[in-house]
Amino acid sequence: MPFATLFTNVAAKLFGAPAHAGAIEPELVESMVEAVVDAVDPRLRTVSGYRGKLAPGIAGTITHLRSFVPDLPEPVALSRAAWGSDPLLNAIFATADDVPAVLGRSEEMRAFFEAEANAAVAEAHGLLGMLKVERNVLAPAMINGAVQQDVAQTTVSFSGHRLIAPAADHVACRREIGVRILKRLAELALERITSAGARAVDLEQRKALLGARLRMLNLRRNGLETLAGDAHDDAAEIESIERDLKATVDDYVETKTSIATLATRLEHINTIFNAPAQYVSLARIDLRLNRMGYKVAPGSNEPAADLALRELSIGEGLQAIIVFVRCPRAELPPKQSLLARAAREML
């Protein structure tokens, strides 16, 4: 069975239904082990006891991911009209027009609505991701009933909006996000393996360069340079290069051996899945913002909205505020209007 199908089956049990309590089902662990092996390197099945070696980390990852389920946010309506009344939409979009613009830029959402099988679907579910940006500024503020200038404040804005994983209902959308999380974890294991390969290439090149330099110095030793009377004693440099070359060769042999060993690949997988909290997390961020996007201190009488955001992090460099959304088909703008807007913004 292809790993994509295996990941879908696992994600359906992890994210498509309410979280289970108690022991992890052995068949779920087995399915996830097979999905990861298929994705990373199917040859790992030739390693004796590969399932037993991977099962503890996989089971721990399942427990970790299931802990996210109760804290996953409920979907909100993503529409131009909702922007004026929903404090969350008002915070994450600068204007009401930005809402359909984000919908229109999502190739996944457009393809979903245009698919013949979804012709009767009036509303799609998806996951909206974005970056949260905080800036310290000096701006006017109301303090003790009076406006004061140049008060230190913090603005919160959101950028890089992306809408992914469209589906006909919320459960299917969560399942698709689960699949992508599992794929990302497998990708992180593969990144460790490929980085070891890249290191081997670097060491091989360094070994070749050091060897060439050493041969050159040995050829120059006691050569014709003595005729000019300014021969340089290369003994110290030769000794240094010989030490460096030996260390490089030893490191190269060790790295090359680890790449060729399937057991080492299992170790790379376990590095990720034995410590899932280090590689995937869902954090809650509580914010109190006014309509202008300024942070408001707790206990302040200034009108503000209390927001409970969720920030998903998976490995280095992948971190985003996430919001599950409901997207009416009627909000999807035609491609022509997007092109016209892009042209106006370029002027």
Q: Could you tell me which of 230, 209, 234, 210 has the C-alpha nearest to residue 221? A: 234
Q: Give the model's pLDDT for residue 14.
A: 76
Give pLDDT tens digits for 38-86. 988 898 998 899 999 999 999 999 999 988 888 888 899 999 999 989 9
Q: Are 119 and 112 contacting, i.e. CB atoms less than 8 angstroms apart?
A: no
Give pLDDT tens digits for 157-201. 999 999 999 999 999 999 899 889 998 999 998 888 877 665 666
pTM, to two decimals: 0.75
Q: Give the model's pLDDT for residue 298.
A: 78
Q: Angle 26-40/50-66 helices, nearest 10 degrees? A: 110
Nearest-angstrom CA–CA distance, 257 and 259: 5
160: left (phi over 0), alpha (psi -120 to 50) or beta: left
**Domain residue limits, the chain:** 1-192+276-347, 193-273
| First-residue to last-residue Cα distance in the chain | 52
Give pLDDT tens digits for 11-43. 887 776 555 555 678 888 999 999 999 988 898
